[in-house]
Structure 1
């Protein structure tokens, strides 16, 4: 059976989508119904899923995460397929939206207010976005070097926010616009990194625009508190994971 290694953050891991992947660390938030598991089942591949909630590009390349080695260490050169969904945590994408969903008055509270304002500050997010392209390219180069015979696919992020002009309560229009700006920049950076490193890109953001979290047929969840047995806020739901799996399978088959 051919080997498939899945790398990435919570957008690939699927926190809250039951059941949890057998034997996986609880902190990873790794679902048995995330897109790597669905792709492996559809294509008859031997899956090694090391996706982990909260992962950054550094956690793929060099940094351990909660006792787990850097994700790239799962590659041994025998892989037929490698998928990568990463970058959002480098730029604070979901944390920014999570803060934006909190009551606005909290931004005026001493101490914590400064932290919240920094999280939704567009200039701070832009500074992070200026760095993420190079980090994504490093990921692509290192994965290609370790898995020279594999098909390596960056999988970008499902669309979370509705188009400009469509309300996304409780987010303000300004915060939603910042979120869209981050998402668009991350989508471009992912495609550019793939092109620069000889990898492919599975375009997920574009076909999911009509299935944003506030739509009638959402592939992701809205803001809110994490609840047991439910997909994490501002993350893919089961329908979204299935849709991403369809897109990956269509590209690599």
Structure 2
């Protein structure tokens, strides 16, 4: 019975959630991120402002197109997820560049760590959110957040870009 409820819940969510964002939404997010980066740089000119993009839901293992219970997407849906991730990654890069901020590309670092990899940095679909202890689908794992934290620390250990003269 719980499996049937879970499948119905997944169909309900799937019918209301788009796997692909439209260009206007990405442009709006890019403009908002740029504004935040610029405001931070104005308020704290000596600070290092960092943008950290998203871990990919579909990495190298998932893009092979092998259907799996932990990633129940059709090839078309997998393509949408991949395109959305690429659009968002470009939006982060553009916002960082336009605002004079730095970018940490966890999207690239996480490509070999999707939900179907031997060392996942992001959860897959566990079958039911109603099951006690079930992971939230497509969210970072402890290993993933630890890796992101390490990437940030490594980045900060490097000298920052030269600050413009005041």
Query: 1:239 and 2:143 equivalent?
Result: yes
Is the CA contact 2:27–2:91 (under 8 Å) kept in the aligned structure 1?
no
Tell me how far 1:246 sits from its aligned partner. Answer: 1.0
* Distance verdict in 2 for CA 1:170–1:231, change over 3 Å: closer
1:156 is aligned, of 44, 48, 53, to 53
Tell me how far 1:231 sits from its aligned partner. Answer: 4.6
Counterpart in the other structure of 1:165 = 64
What is the distance in 2 between the residues matched to 1:132 and 1:120? 16
* Distance verdict in 2 for CA 1:197–1:175, change over 3 Å: same
Counterpart in the other structure of 2:163 = none
Tell me how far 1:242 sits from its aligned partner. Answer: 0.8
Counterpart in the other structure of 1:8 = none
* Distance verdict in 2 for CA 1:231–1:153, change over 3 Å: farther
Higher strand share: 1
What is the distance in 2 between the residues matched to 1:133 and 1:196? 10
1:106-145 to structure 2, matched below 5 A, reads: 106=12, 113=15, 116=16, 119-120=17-18, 122=20, 125-145=22-42
Query: 1:182 and 2:84 equivalent?
Result: yes
Q: CA RMSD in A?
A: 2.5
Moved more, 207-216 or 143-152: 143-152
Q: Which fold has the larger relative contact order, with Cα–Cα distance below 8 Å and residues 6 or more apart in sequence?
A: 2
TM-score w.r.t. length of structure 2: 0.74
What is the distance in 2 between the residues matched to 1:229 and 1:121? 25
Q: Deviations over 1:56-106 (max 9, x none)?
A: xxxxxxxxxxxxxxxxxxxxxxxxxxxxxxxxxxxxxxxxxxxxx933xx5
* Distance verdict in 2 for CA 1:222–1:202, change over 3 Å: same
Q: Figure out how many residues of one structure are paired with residues of the other and give that number.
A: 142
Q: Deviations over 1:128-171 (max 9, x none)?
A: 12322111111111122222221111011112113433235311
Q: Structure 2: where are the runs of 5+ without partners?
A: 1-8, 158-166
1:102 is aligned, of 7, 10, 15, to 10
What secondary structure does 1:216 align onto? Answer: coil
TM-score w.r.t. length of structure 1: 0.50
1:34-113 to structure 2, matched below 5 A, reads: 102-103=10-11, 106=12, 113=15
